[in-house]
Chains A and B, each alone.
Chain A
Amino acid sequence: AQSVAQPEDQVNVAEGNPLTVKCTYSVSGNPYLFWYVQYPNRGLQFLLKYITGDNLVKGSYGFEAEFNKSQTSFHLKKPSALVSNSALYFCAVRADSTSGTYKYIFGTGTRLKVLA
């Protein structure tokens, strides 16, 4: 079965410190991976994606993610956290459906709290 796991419900980090939000996946075929961020009472906003190419993907607002095929992981990182980065983060993977179309499976989300 195709799935995404975010093992941490919450991550706390001090402002200025590096942050990592973890994601592992299980898909058949090549993985197409995404990270989104959600602020209170808003929809999800796209941060970055991995389709192919370099294992280190750079995205919006200084975020990056490292794709590791052998560990089936796609962890979100930022070298220096800001209080404004406090939000809910979702990892997602493209899944192939039996009808030949495509849909996306989301993880359960990780709440990031950056402490001043």
Chain B
Amino acid sequence: NAGVTQTPKFQVLKTGQSMTLQCAQDMNHNSMYWYRQDPGMGLRLIYYSASEGTTDKGEVPNGYNVSRLNKREFSLRLESAAPSQTSVYFCASSDRLNQPQHFGDGTRLSIL
């Protein structure tokens, strides 16, 4: 039972490069989320998708775009990477309202 799968697990980019972080869940969940985790700041929501076909901005959306490709997949794109985007990125999904979120194991992204 895979749960939430994130690829890649690690990535190093140069400033200005672009890349897409992939996330897929196999639990038939409606809602999916992207967070970034930085030391001392906890998890901050970047974007979320309450259901297939919808996306909303979270707390820190600048510099990112998302695509809810289908019910299973929710990708996060950095168009022009900046050193401030060095972080650990987590994808999560949840089913019905007030149910807990299930997290992937993260993508560790370094931007030089």
- The 9 A-B residue pairs whose C-beta atoms are closest, nearest first, are A43-B103, A46-B100, A108-B42, A101-B50, A106-B43, A44-B103, A106-B42, A43-B105, A109-B42
Interface residues of B in 50-102 (CB under 8 A from A): 50, 54, 56, 58, 90, 92, 97-98, 100-102
**Residues of A with C-beta under 8 A to B102:** 46
Q: How far is the CB of B23 from chain A (nearest CB, A)?
A: 11
**Residues of B with C-beta under 8 A to A49:** 98, 100
- Whole-angstrom distance between the alpha carbons of A46 and B43 in the complex? 14
Interface: A70 (CB within 8 A): no
B contact residues, range: 20 to 34
A contact residues, range: 20 to 34
Given contacts A41-B105, A43-B104, contact A51 B98 (CB under 8 A): yes
- Whole-angstrom distance between the alpha carbons of A105 and B33 in the complex? 12
Contact A34 B100 (CB under 8 A): yes
- Whole-angstrom distance between the alpha carbons of A106 and B44 in the complex? 7
**Residues of A with C-beta under 8 A to B27:** none
Q: How far is the CB of B24 from chain A (nearest CB, A)?
A: 14
Interface residues of A in 15-65 (CB under 8 A from B): 32, 34, 36, 41-46, 49, 51
